[in-house]
Amino acid sequence: SWETHEDLRARELAAQIVLSSAEAAWNNRLQIEGLPLFGHDWTKDAQLPSLSGDIATFAAGTVRSSSVPERDLSVQVGGWMLMEAAFVVSAAGYPRKR
């Protein structure tokens, strides 16, 4: 095989990071009308955005976050990308180690 022992160890470590992160994000999500709402920090409970508070704003070519980041599309897209990555890692045969 062209892969070194270090390559295999790095791949295993990356798989464990993805799977651990996905487990944390899933365990700390909110369930809204049967759908997940991911938190901006996967190690903490997600917060339900309300109609009050600051929304994300676009200024001078940058976007400033909402006062409740869970409202931001990027937070939700990031959560879903993590779930998809965890599926691919699991399908490749990497089990979650405890």
DSSP string, the chain: ----HHHHHHHHHHHHHHHHHHHHHHHT-EEETTEEE--SSTTS------SSSPPPEEETTEEEPPSSGGGSHHHHHHHHHHHHHHHHHHHTT-PPP-
pLDDT tens digits, 28-71: 999 999 999 999 999 999 999 876 656 656 666 666 667 788 98
Does the pLDDT value for residue 78 go beyond 60? Answer: yes
- pTM, to two decimals: 0.81
- What residue spans define the domains of the chain? 5-91
Residue 13's pLDDT is 96
